[in-house]
Amino acid sequence: MTLLQLLLGVPLALLGVLALPVVITLVQEIITKRKYRHIPGPKPSPISGNLREFLTAPGGLLGCLEGWVKRYGDLITFRLGSRQFVLVADPDAARNVMVRLPNHAAMSNPNMHLTKWDLRSMDVWGLLMARDDYWRGLRAAWQPAFSPASLRGYQALMDREALALAGRLRRQAAAAAAGGGGGGGPKAGEVEVMSEMSRVTLAVVGTAAYGVDFNAPEYGGSGAAAPGSGSGSGPGATLSLAASLEAFRSGRQPSLVSACNDFFRTMSPSARSTWSWAVALPCLLPAIRHVAAVAPDPVLGLHIQSRRVLRQVSTKLITAWRDSHTPASTSSTTSEGAATANGVAATADAAAAAAAGSSSPGVAPGSFLGLMLAARDRSRREGGGKDGAAASLTDAQIEAQVQTFLLAGFETTANALTFAVYLLASHPEAAARLRAEVDAHLPPLAPLEPEQEGGQAEQGSGGAAASQPLSLETLDKLLYTEAVLNEALRLFPPAHATTRETDKDMTIQGAHIPAGTTLWLSIAHLHTRDGVWPEPQAFRPERFLPPDVPGSAPELAPRHPHAHLPFGSGPRMCIGWRFAMQEAKTVLSRLVQAVEFSLAPGQAMPLDTVAGLTLAPRHGVWVRLSPRGAAGGRGQAAAAAAAAGKA
């Protein structure tokens, strides 16, 4: 062999090595296409499939799916990279799939696939992606955190954080009315709602999950910038990852609060790593993971950093638990209170202790993390028993559950509240009816507290206090408040889609679906489907009121029993949905009690949204605040009754 032949042979050999994964992928695409050729759908491109259309269609991801449904019907196949999906858009078929199929399909965000196993395992081991017997064991281990007693215990935390929000906004509205500053926007009295709601929900779910005070400075609270505030300062300011990427490039280490926000920012479809192309070639992915870990681009680097911070905090707290809990102390701790089905004490007092939080590096006994660790320790001492599944959980698997709790409960509730405020601000008549209900039932707020030097109120509530706490019994009376939230969840479902994986061949709407198929269920489409929802695009909360309530509109109720699925359905329905609704009702009612709001000048209508891991406002929601009367609540019962009569 001559030198020339050798020199020519090397690049040809490299070309062959690089071409092999492409050839393998193309062959797999041909095989897959034959399996689904009887199902209509858009024509895919080689390698990338329908990814370009998915990301660039007018209206984004949801607009793309809506267009496909109109063109191809209620059962559609499409491909994203190497992965084939079947979209199920019929309410009956979607409900049947959710009830019959127990397993979610593996999540397909490229940034998640590009992380190495120590971080990717948090998804595989978490409740959301758990499968079969492992999932059933986890579900039982999670249940105590959402028992009626635990939910009652968390109410004090929810009301405390809601009052803190009410105080901040109430003070800002008062300052604006007096001609002062107030901050929060380009003009006094303007505030970006998503930032404020993120701050509240992260404090609630973080404290409940970890049992530490998420308002403590060491976790990024108490004086830290509000989560999600981005880099802009007015309507149209982008709540994107630009500010986070700037901080990442500067080498700044994020707090736990910042890490949670960074995680969601890097899960947006617009946050694509330069390594994302590797997901389209699965046979190259293991090698690309190692290369990307050594040389990540800023987007992937930020994603990895955020996940490492979450793991580090969990590891630190679990270590503190293990160091401080001897078998004797653990036994005495878990014997207090009423035992649940898996033997964990999950009383209202225990949950309230977790809700109180602690800024010290320890785990409160009633927190989600505390409940999981106590269940495992007790089960191991007793050799399994009723809680045998918990005994086998490793520290890393428990970390995965806490991360799932935190991430599942943080942005979804914040976004739901943000959408509700947007809809109320753009529908004054609905806002007036909601204020009437709140004023009729809630304990009144105290007058604003005097500010200390530096502009801080004397109490941690930020200037809002109530004569009585907001109880669950009072929340149950807020029927219109709940209807507003349900209508907001219908029009803007944060969990806009879910997936299932077929464990065997099945038939959907007369079409054969092979085992191992990933089914895509578009909740957003089901929620605005013509023929199912009267006035599907209109904001009409009264459609969700019980028929015997004055002002209800049963003629606007859905014409299908399974048309409203903001938390899913079947065995994989969101386990924390009651927690989320309780928190949302508490926060929204306190907010409405404290201030009035209207859309700020420059706030875009209709609202521009982006569908990533969750559905969120693309540029946030800006409102202008106005102060209410000093009391609010039952002190305005007469006015409330009059307003309710007019609504």
Q: Is the pLDDT of residue 287 over 90?
A: no
Q: For residues 312 and 541, what is the distance between their CA atoms, to the nearest angstrom?
A: 43
Under the banding of pLDDT at 50, 70 and 90, the label for residue 13 is low
Q: Which long-range contacts (CB under 8 A, 24 or more apart) does 608-612 make?
A: 609/60, 609/62, 609/492, 610/60, 610/268, 610/269, 610/270, 611/60, 611/61, 611/62, 611/269, 611/496, 611/497, 611/524, 612/264, 612/267, 612/268, 612/269, 612/270, 612/271
pLDDT tier, 500 (very low <50, low <70, confident <90, very high otherwise): very high
More confident residue, 253 or 443: 443
3 state SS of 235: coil
Q: What CA–CA distance (Å, rounded) separates 519 from 239?
A: 31
- What does the alpha-carbon distance between residue 133 and residue 127 come to, in Å, rounded to a whole number? 12
Model pLDDT, residue 236 = 39
Which range scores top for mean pLDDT: 16-25, 288-297, 522-531? Answer: 522-531
More confident residue, 14 or 461: 14
SS3 207: helix
Q: What is the pLDDT of residue 245?
A: 85
Compute the residue count for the chain.
647
The reply, when asked if residue 64 is annotated as ligand binding, is: no
Whether the CB-CB separation of 584 and 486 falls below 8 Å is answered with no
The whole-number average pLDDT for the span 204-232 is: 62
pLDDT of residue 464: 61
- pLDDT value of residue 524: 94
Q: pLDDT for 290-324, tens place per residue?
A: 888 888 999 999 999 999 998 888 888 888 777 77
- Average the pLDDT over 17-41 and give the result: 79
Answer whether residue 335 shows pLDDT above 50. Answer: no
**pLDDT on residue 552:** 94
Give the least confident one: 3-7, 39-43, 538-542, 571-575. 3-7
Pairing type for strands 622-627 and 190-192 reads antiparallel
Residue 357 has pLDDT above 70, yes or no: no
Assigned fold of 138-495+566-646 = Cytochrome p450 (1.10.630)
Give the Å distances, CA to CA, from 72 to 3, 95, 413, 533, 636: 58, 20, 33, 21, 54
Instruction: Provide mean pLDDT across the span 22-29.
Output: 73
Give me the pLDDT at residue 272, please.
Answer: 76
Of the two residues 335 and 103, the one the predictor is more confident about is: 103
Contact 161, 196 (CB under 8 A): no
Token pair recorded at residue 270: 């617009």
Write the DSSP assignment of 3-70 as a string of letters: HHHHHHHHHHHHHHHHHHHHHHHHHHHHHHHHHTTTS--PPPBTTTBTHHHHHHSTTHHHHHHHHHHH
Rg (CA), the chain: 26
More confident residue, 216 or 388: 216
Find the helix or strand (DSSP H, E) in which 140 lies. Answer: helix 132-142
pLDDT at 546: 95
Q: What is the pLDDT of residues 560-610, one digit of tens each?
A: 888 999 999 999 999 999 999 999 999 999 999 999 999 999 898 999 998
pLDDT digits (tens, 9 = 90+) for 161-199: 999 999 999 999 998 888 765 444 447 789 999 989 988
pTM for the model stands at 0.85
Backbone torsions φ then ψ of 381, nearest 5 degrees: -65, -35
The pLDDT of residue 162: 95
Question: Domain map of the chain by residue range?
Answer: 138-495+566-646
Residue 421: pLDDT band with limits 50, 70, 90:
very high
pLDDT digits (tens, 9 = 90+) for 104-156: 876 556 677 788 888 888 888 999 889 888 898 899 889 888 999 999 999 99
Residue 74: predicted pLDDT:
94
What is the model's pLDDT at position 43? Answer: 93
Higher pLDDT, 227 or 465: 465
345: pLDDT confidence band, cut at 50, 70 and 90? very low
Q: Identify whether the C-beta of residue 274 lies closer than 8 Å to the C-beta of residue 624.
A: no
213 versus 45: the higher-pLDDT residue is 45
Residues 193, 350: contact at Cβ < 8 Å?
A: no
Angle at alpha carbon of residue 28, lines to 27 and 29, rounded to 5°: 90
Q: For residues 218 and 256, what is the distance between their CA atoms, to the nearest angstrom?
A: 8
Residue 215 has pLDDT above 70, yes or no: no
pLDDT of residue 12: 58
Computed over every residue of the chain, the mean pLDDT equals 81
Q: Span 471-497, mean pLDDT?
A: 97
d(CA 430, CA 647): 8
| Confidence at 280, pLDDT banded by 50, 70, 90 | confident
The CB-side HSE value for 153 (13 A sphere, CA atoms) comes to 29
Share of residues in the chain with pLDDT > 90 (%): 42
Q: pLDDT tens digits, residue range 51-92?
A: 888 888 888 889 999 999 999 999 999 998 888 999 999 999
